[in-house]
């Protein structure tokens, strides 16, 4: 006959038994759910960073040699212009003001791969292919008078001849066309470092006043800060303030 003590021991033994283990399906479901949440958070963070802070771009042409080469990937800070102002010498990415780029059909990788690549570029996991965008160096700010060529065959900004040797491709001249313009308000005058192979502000200003060739600041995506690919070309992108250190300041047009 079972005693009260035996019953108490049986109940204690039963309560000490381990809880049933979760099924494999349950554990797998939890792992999948956790993975989806982590991926969603990562994609959201990548999208926010790409939209408001930094974005990677691919260099498709020779116009910025030797500073940038075809195939380079650069990181562009979207805080300039914005919290930080543009400066002469900044290397900037900007949207095509209209008619600067030749229409080229996009590379077709197949419907599925195209969709994947577009989605990854959209959230910032792949560098932008730069379709519809250009990259050049700012040489004139709003109100600046930019001329070429002045004394010694140099580019002149506000009457001061500047030495562009730190960034202009060796063997090329400051400009193979003459011009004398004033940069309109809220715009910048841009030129490629490879002056002999760059379709920049010089060639989109038919009136020769600077009005059409200058790029509206609201089209500037941001300032290029670093080259991050290929690995043997990883480096910062300087704006060479020493080149423009002695350029006289001028009033912004319209003030």
CATH number for position 154: 2.10.109.10
Q: What share of the chain is helix, strand, coil (3-state, %, to 5)?
A: 30, 20, 50
What pLDDT was estimated at residue 151? 76
Cα distances (angstroms) measured from residue 109 to each of 20, 112, 115, 162, 240:
50, 8, 9, 46, 40
**Of residues 104, 92, 174, 165, the one with CA closest to residue 132:** 104
Residue 39 lies in a domain: no
Phi, psi angles (nearest 5°) of residue 216: -55, 135
Instruction: Locate all alpha helices (DSSP H) within 76-201, ordered by sequence.
Output: 111-123
Residue 84 lies in a domain: yes
Residue 4 lies in a domain: no
Instruction: Provide the annotated active-site residues.
Output: 63, 136
Residue 21 lies in a domain: no
* Domain count across the chain: 1
Query: Per residue in 124-133, pLDDT tens?
Result: 444 555 578 9
Residue 20 lies in a domain: no
Instruction: Locate all alpha helices (DSSP H) within the chain, ordered by sequence.
Output: 4-16, 24-52, 111-123
What pLDDT was estimated at residue 54? 86
Residue 224 lies in a domain: yes
pTM above the 0.85 mark? no
What pLDDT was estimated at residue 121? 56
What pLDDT was estimated at residue 102? 74
Its domain, for residue 148, covers 58-108+130-244
Residues of the chain with pLDDT under 50: 2, 5, 8, 12, 14, 105, 123-126, 252-255
Peptide bond preceding 222 in cis form (omega within 30 of 0):
no
Residue 213 lies in a domain: yes
What pLDDT was estimated at residue 29? 74
What pLDDT was estimated at residue 107? 52
Question: Cα–Cα distance between 230 and 172 in angstroms, integer?
Answer: 25
CB 127 within 8 A of CB 120: no
Residue 113 lies in a domain: no
């Amino acid at each position: 006959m079972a005693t009260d003590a035996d019953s108490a021991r049986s109940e204690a033994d039963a309560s000490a038994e381990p809880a049933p283990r979760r099924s494999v399906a349950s554990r797998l479901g939890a792992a999948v759910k956790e993975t989806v949440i982590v991926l969603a958070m990562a994609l959201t963070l990548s999208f926010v960073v790409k939209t408001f802070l930094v974005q990677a771009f691919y260099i498709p042409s020779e116009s910025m040699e030797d500073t940038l080469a075809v195939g380079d990937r650069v990181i562009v800070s979207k805080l300039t212009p914005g919290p930080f102002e543009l400066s002469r010498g900044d290397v900037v990415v900007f949207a095509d003001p209209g008619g600067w780029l030749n229409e080229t059909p996009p590379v077709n990788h197949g419907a599925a791969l195209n969709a994947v690549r577009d989605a990854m570029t959209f959230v910032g996991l792949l560098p932008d292919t730069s379709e519809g965008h250009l990259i050049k160096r700012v040489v004139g700010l709003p109100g600046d008078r930019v001329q070429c060529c002045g004394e010694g065959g140099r580019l002149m900004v506000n009457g001061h001849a500047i030495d562009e040797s730190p960034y202009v491709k060796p063997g090329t001249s400051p400009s193979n066309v003459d011009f004398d313009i004033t940069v309109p308000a809220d715009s910048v005058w841009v030129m490629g470092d490879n002056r002999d192979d760059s379709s920049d502000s010089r060639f989109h200003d038919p009136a020769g006043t600077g009005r059409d060739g200058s790029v509206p600041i609201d089209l500037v995506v941001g300032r290029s800060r670093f080259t991050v690919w290929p690995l043997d070309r990883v480096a910062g992108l300087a704006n060479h303030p020493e080149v423009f250190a002695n350029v006289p300041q001028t009033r912004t047009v319209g003030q």
